[in-house]
Amino acid sequence: MKRSRLGLILALLAISTASGFAQVQPLSGPEFLIGGLGGLASISLSSAGPVARSLLSGTEVRSIVPVRGGWFILSSEGPLFSPDLASFEPRTAGLPSKTLLIEDGSGFSPIRTAVEIKAFAVDPRQNGRMAVMTSSEIWYSDDWGKSWTSLGNSTPIPGYKALSFGPIPGKTDLGLWVSHSMKGLFAREVDGQGSWTGYSAGLPRIYGGGVEETAGFALFPDEKGSWRFALGMSFLGEIYEWDNAKSVFSERFSDGKSFGYVECLAAKNPESLVGVTSDSVCRFPLEQRNGRWSALPDQDMTADFKAAAAEAQKFLGTTDCAALIVPRGGSVEGFRPVVIDESWRLVPPPRSQQAEKALRKQGLYLQTSFLINPQSRKKYFDLITTLGLDSLVIDMKDDSGKLRFTPRSPLLAAQGAVSEPLDLENFVAEAKKRGIYLIARIVVFKDKTLYSWNSAALAVHDGASGKPWQGLRSDARPIEEYWVDPYSPEVWRYNTEIAGEVIDRGFDEVQFDYIRFPTDGNNVAAAIFPAKAEGMDQDGALESFLRYARSSITAPISIDIYGSNGWYRTGSRTGQDVEMLSKYVDVICPMLYPSHFEQTFLAQEPAELRPYRIYRLGTSRNLAIARDRAIVRPYVQAFYLDVSYDRLYYGLQYVRDEVRGLREGANQGMTFWNNSGRYDDVPSMK
């Protein structure tokens, strides 16, 4: 794109977020700004083909926000302001940062980097008023981001998704609205000593669960000079409008499906909204029929966007966001820039070679002891063939921390302990002869062996006694779990060494389990972590480990997570933030076991379809939270648990319904889990 043309566009868009809407002069074709892992680019489409130009490199660009007098670029370095898309000024003073430990060849060194900004909002009435949001806190500025003040949070649980200025009951000034993945919507005044108040009336709820997540807001003026306020849903194809007088949301649009989405909802012009739904950009005319809006797919806008994003991927890598500047045909009366900051919905990111290798694998989990004896090994290999499966997950470091192979690495020999080792080379050769894809399960931070090593030097410690920490039951008896310090680079190096060796000796994939912090026990608050670097938090510890593991392992990496962490956008107490994890792993394996959810969760009639619902919706939601960056390959419950639902329904049909659900959901693979090795309830996959 020529600089003169871009300058003209910027000048014309300068008032786009103030009262009223900008008009754009006719151009030869649509113009785009595209952001992604490799930076920021401009894309011009014409009959002669796309023309791409790099505007910013060396940082990941996550969103693009046009404001009066320029642009805000939400990058991996924090908010950047640009008046001309040629110079970029950091606007991060007062915003939080995080600490990561990065291996540089000679050891691990701390670096400070910006905390990821999840959303950005601009007040259209007051020049300079804006806000940003991390996963756990909201920040406000009245000077275009030159300084920031924390507005705290509405709940201490991380998991915020969307942010906007909007009307608040009884107030003439616009306040701030925020959506949380589990707790619903909250709003507060920006100035003064306001507090966050919940406003979720009228919004849909998950059966037996919390308020459904809001993907984003749209604030737009009405014909009376006031403001209308609407929102789209992350996991439902629905739009709701706020009734400020009644303090309730009313449904305006639904695609009629049990799973869908309306992302990037915004005012396109005074008569319609625009958003991303299904696989296209849609317009929502604001005229109502019986209080309802219709959806009109804009095929030209969708096609243009996909063409521009595909061009940008060639040199930006994954493209996560875009600002559509001018539509096909040039000038449109009252046009506003359309910002699509979830562009992966329309143009899925390209998968890595590792992810492609792991895609749609279907298999069993087995404890190592079932595969040591040649007769038992043959029995299970035959079962895999009979069921039409093609993969096997087996412990190479088990739940007690014991290595289930004889290591060659001096580090593993010195720090580890071997128990009933598998004859690795013979086992691998037999499995490969059968065409079985091998996945090595490595239990990471729950490790009794490493916990005891070197006088408990790597263990989590008790802040009161100074001794190695163990969770305590309500009767003060210890829980039989032993945790090593997730902040420790020595622990990271040990587990990565295991992964590297088993890959070198024939495994196809490594799977990290218990990659989380301890959560059980009445004394969790007493746990201290000796290796914790200053300024580091749980997310930073797990990110540092995975970043190191990713740089050291060339094979596919999978990770096991709680089912709830794949269902909601929150790491809660575990640190398992799926959005972060998906940047470093190829496969996410949520344990969506129906027996482990509340027994009323999704148990509406017909109740026997509960396993189907959990796996169809759970895998679809998990894939959306991961932004399609990682494969979702869940563990499937193939065991009975003595809970109320299983007593009524568990059996072969239960497992069949789980499989049908995930195949109608993400459909990217599965692993059946039965710790006892009993797989009589697994249906044929042929």
Same domain, 213 and 274: yes
pTM value > 0.85: yes
Neighbouring C-beta atoms of residue 402, cutoff 10 Å: 20
Q: For residue 168, what is the DSSP state?
A: -
The angle, 0 to 180 degrees and rounded to 10, between the axes of the packed helices 489-504 and 538-552 is 30
The size of the chain, in residues, is 686
Same domain, 334 and 448: no
Same domain, 575 and 615: yes
- 685 falls within a domain: no
- 32 falls within a domain: yes
Same domain, 332 and 363: no
Question: Quick check: 161 and 168 in contact, CB under 8 A?
Answer: no
The angle, 0 to 180 degrees and rounded to 10, between the axes of the packed helices 652-664 and 610-625 is 30
Residue 319: per-residue pLDDT: 79
- 161 falls within a domain: yes
Neighbouring C-beta atoms of residue 379, cutoff 10 Å: 13
Number of alpha helices (DSSP H) and beta strands (DSSP E) in the chain: 14, 38
* Distance of alpha carbon 630 from alpha carbon 645, whole angstroms: 31
Which of the residues in the chain have pLDDT under 70? 1-29, 192, 325-336, 571-575
CATH number, domain with residue 193: 2.130.10.10
CATH number, domain with residue 413: 3.20.20.80
Any residues with CB less than 8 A from the CB of 630 and at least 6 apart, and which? 355, 581, 582, 585, 586, 587, 588
- 680 falls within a domain: no
Count: domains in the chain: 2
Q: What is the pLDDT of residues 576-608, one digit of tens each?
A: 889 989 999 999 999 999 999 999 999 999 999
Same domain, 303 and 384: no
Residue 570: per-residue pLDDT: 80
How many Cα atoms sit within 13 Å of 547 on the Cβ side?
A: 14
Question: Quick check: 496 and 549 in contact, CB under 8 A?
Answer: yes
Beta strands in 523-593 (DSSP E): 527-528, 557-562, 587-591
- Coil, strand, or helix at residue 248? strand
Same domain, 413 and 322: no
- 683 falls within a domain: no
Last residue of a domain, which of 293, 317, 345? Answer: 345
- 212 falls within a domain: yes
Same domain, 333 and 366: no
Residue 17: per-residue pLDDT: 36
**Radius of gyration of the chain from Cα atoms?**
26
Same domain, 210 and 271: yes
Same domain, 453 and 573: yes
For residue 483, what are the domain limits? Answer: 353-673
How far is C-alpha 217 from the chain's CA centre?
19
Q: What is the pLDDT of residues 197-218, one digit of tens each?
A: 999 999 999 887 789 999 999 9
- 51 falls within a domain: yes
Burial letters for 649-658: b for 16+ Cβ neighbours within 10 Å, e otherwise? bbeeebbbbb
- For residue 96, give the nearest of 33, 139, 130 by alpha carbon: 139
Same domain, 140 and 263: yes
Same domain, 380 and 267: no
Is the N-terminal amide bond of 297 cis, ω within 30° of 0?
no
Arithmetic mean of pLDDT over the chain: 90
* Distance of alpha carbon 85 from alpha carbon 73, whole angstroms: 9
